[in-house]
């Protein structure tokens, strides 16, 4: 099931291409597939399929799919609709803060209607990141750095105009921003610098990043996931976020192979056949 265009800002093609690539791989493994837009399929129709791969993220639609998935039945959901809802920041932040083995930034979830209020009690010598409190960033002004607290007012005014009701504030953490992708979790993992030209390339343990991503994905219920992390001086790894079904744009071919392989194993396990 494709992602809604409204939830694929500037990456509609990439989102569609990874799903098509996965389906092509599955077809070569003998799996019959069908691709639909979110608007085409009634949630009840999902019962007719062995597996549903929902990339959609719009709240009313994913909530309806979660209700359908909760009914049980033979359908395998990857990722389960509830895990997609778990990636909404108001659910993800408390889950990751409580997840053993995951280092996560100090965070406060606040109401846009209440205004900026006072700065958080935690230290933020280099400013704060102000983020919409529901889904991941859909435009370049959904996640904004405020170097002074006075700058938060304008950000919240924009949120209010776009009917965003909650926001998250986190301290800026110095370091290299990295992006990662995973399947399983535990089947496959890869990463790269968000800006390889400007990255300081601070040495760190890849096991640390992979393990935090694995634990975080497990806490949210994700099997196909991506996310961001910061590598701080001294090699300290801090997980920033996780999301369901990223575009895998830079590693699409390999990701499609790994996702389809994982899906074949999951199907075989469901059917009691050797994988």
Same domain? For 9 and 83 the reply is: yes
Arithmetic mean of pLDDT, 269-275? 66
Total domains, the chain:
3
Range of the domain at 199: 176-249
Is the pLDDT at 95 greater than 50? The verdict is yes
Q: Residue 200 falls within a domain, yes or no?
A: yes
3-state class (DSSP) for residue 138: coil
Q: Which two tokens stand for residue 40?
A: 């085409």
**pLDDT surpasses 50 at 275:** no
In a domain, 93, yes or no: no
- The pLDDT of 223-238, averaged and rounded, is 98
Same domain, 15 and 54: yes
Same domain, 245 and 255: no
Task: Report how far residue 242's alpha carbon sits from residue 226's, in angstroms, rounded to the nearest whole number.
Answer: 6
To 5 degrees, how large is the angle CA 153–CA 128–CA 170? 110
Same domain flag for 11 and 80: yes
List the CATH number of the domain containing 154.
Answer: 3.30.1490
The residues, any chain, with a CB within 8 Å of residue 264's CB and separated by 6 or more, are 26, 29, 31, 275
Q: What is the mean pLDDT of residues 250-275?
A: 87
Q: What is the mean pLDDT of residues 215-240?
A: 98
Domain termination residue (choose one: 142, 171, 200): 171
Based on the domain organization, do 114 and 70 belong to the same domain? no
Entry pTM: 0.93
- Reported as a single tens digit per residue, the pLDDT across 34-91 is 999 888 888 888 999 999 999 998 889 999 999 999 998 889 999 999 999 999 999 9
pLDDT for the residue 41: 80
DSSP per-residue codes, 116-134? S-SPPSS--TT-EEEEESS
Regarding whether 229 and 260 lie in a shared domain, the answer is: no
Does residue 214 lie within any of the structural domains? yes
Q: Is residue 114 part of a domain?
A: yes
Contact 231, 178 (CB under 8 A): yes
């Amino acid at each position: 099931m494709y992602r809604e265009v409204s939830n694929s800002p500037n990456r509609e093609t990439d989102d569609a291409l990874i799903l098509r690539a996965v389906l092509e791989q599955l077809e070569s493994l003998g799996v019959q597939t069908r691709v639909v837009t979110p608007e085409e399929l009634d949630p009840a129709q999902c019962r007719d399929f062995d597996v549903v791969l929902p990339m959609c993220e719009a709240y009313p639609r994913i909530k309806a799919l979660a209700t359908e998935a909760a009914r049980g039945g033979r359908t395998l959901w990857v990722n389960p609709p509830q895990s997609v809802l778990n990636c909404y920041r108001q659910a993800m932040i408390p889950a990751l803060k409580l997840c053993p083995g995951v280092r996560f930034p100090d965070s406060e979830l606040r109401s846009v209607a209440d205004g900026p209020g006072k700065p958080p009690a935690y230290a933020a010598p280099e400013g704060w990141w102000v983020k919409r409190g529901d889904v991941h960033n859909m435009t370049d002004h959904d996640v904004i750095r405020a170097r002074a607290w006075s700058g938060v007012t304008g950000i919240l005014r924009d949120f209010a105009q776009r009917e965003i009701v909650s926001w998250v504030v986190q301290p800026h953490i110095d370091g290299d921003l990295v992006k990662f992708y995973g399947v399983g979790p535990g089947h496959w993992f890869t990463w790269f610098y968000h800006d390889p030209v400007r990255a300081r390339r601070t040495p760190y343990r890849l096991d640390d990043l992979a393990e935090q991503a694995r634990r975080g994905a497990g806490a949210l219920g994700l099997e196909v996931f991506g996310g961001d992390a910061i590598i701080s001086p001294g090699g300290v790894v801090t997980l920033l976020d996780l999301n369901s079904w990223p575009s895998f744009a830079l590693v699409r071919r390999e990701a499609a192979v790994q996702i389809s392989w994982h899906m074949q194993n999951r199907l075989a396990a469901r059917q009691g056949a050797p994988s």
